[in-house]
Amino acid sequence: MSIGVPVRNGGNFLAVAMRSVIDQSERDIEIIVSDNGSDDGTGECVLKLAEHDPRIRYFRQDPPISAYDNFHFVLSQARGRYFMWAAHDDSRDLDFVARLADRLDQDGDAVLAFGDLYIVTPDDKVGRMQPFPFSTAGLGRWRRMKKVSRLQCFNIYGLWRTSAIRRVPYAYCSWWLDLPMMMSAAWLGHFAYVAGPRFYYFEIPKTNLDRAKYQDFASRFNLPGAVLQLVGATYRSCSQVGGPAAGLLAAGLVFWKQVVGLPGFLARRIRAAFVR
């Protein structure tokens, strides 16, 4: 098993996140940490852990790269049959990897396995279970992509078949950067649900500009441009795995998702303006 930890300034969250990886019941793992130019002691924290755990491989990106490229870097270093991304502020049950690996062992057509989703916030550190009907088992390729296009991509942090996720093309975008990847992966195989093992997603409210600053060190954010970039990245990624027809369908589904979500986005902006 390979677990990739792309991190920049992990702060107080990193120790808990790392423990939820290091203490997994599955012991035959490598932990690939890519420190993206942190200046808060993240590197020192990881190196101290590595002194007592030879499974940890530490890399430092200097100068820092985009968050998207850092995610790809840890994947490029993976040597395991299965692969999992682990963000610096999320955690998971200690049998998470073992139970998901069992499912992938049994289901050769699945490219990804994921468990139950719990949302953790600064005000709710225990977390609450959130319904997340992401499973695409039993669906054909077109229906898999349609379903994935409507969901958030929490399950990107599940356990992947390494050979499958490496077939997903590199298609950068600055907004919803994980959606083109998930759409392409949906073409390659189905996503399997495993009841029981919990994934704890730490959610902090962020503006689009906040995300752009963290991901790409950007000083401004243009939503119409970001939507077009997202649609283009989806087409490029999906057309490479499924041909032009798959690319057009995927791009259309993603564009329609943005159109449907526009009224809610405008309503939130108006409410925020009145609050200020």
How high is the mean pLDDT of the chain?
Answer: 92
The superfamily in CATH containing domain 2-275 is Spore Coat Polysaccharide Biosynthesis Protein SpsA; Chain A (3.90.550.10)
**What per-residue confidence (pLDDT) applies to 9?**
93
Instruction: Assess whether pLDDT exceeds 60 at residue 266.
Output: no
Identify which of 191, 204, 183 has the alpha carbon closest to the alpha carbon of residue 87.
204
Report the C-alpha gap between 149 and 152 in whole angstroms: 8
**What per-residue confidence (pLDDT) applies to 221?**
79
pLDDT tens-place string over residues 145-165: 999 999 999 999 999 999 999
138: left (phi over 0), alpha (psi -120 to 50) or beta: left
Instruction: Assess whether pLDDT exceeds 90 at residue 71.
Output: yes
Which residues have C-beta within 8 Å of that of residue 51, sequence separation ≥ 6?
A: none
Instruction: Name the pTM for this structure.
Output: 0.92
**What per-residue confidence (pLDDT) applies to 165?**
97
* Half-sphere CA count of 16, side-chain side, radius 13 A: 12
Signed CA dihedral, 33, 174, 230, 194: sign only: positive
Report the C-alpha gap between 43 and 13 in whole angstroms: 14
Instruction: Assess whether pLDDT exceeds 70 at residue 186.
Output: yes
**What per-residue confidence (pLDDT) applies to 264?**
59
Asked if 209 contacts 221 with a C-beta cutoff of 8 angstroms, the reply is yes
pLDDT tens-place string over residues 7-52: 999 988 999 999 999 999 999 999 999 999 999 999 999 999 999 9
Asked if 68 contacts 156 with a C-beta cutoff of 8 angstroms, the reply is no
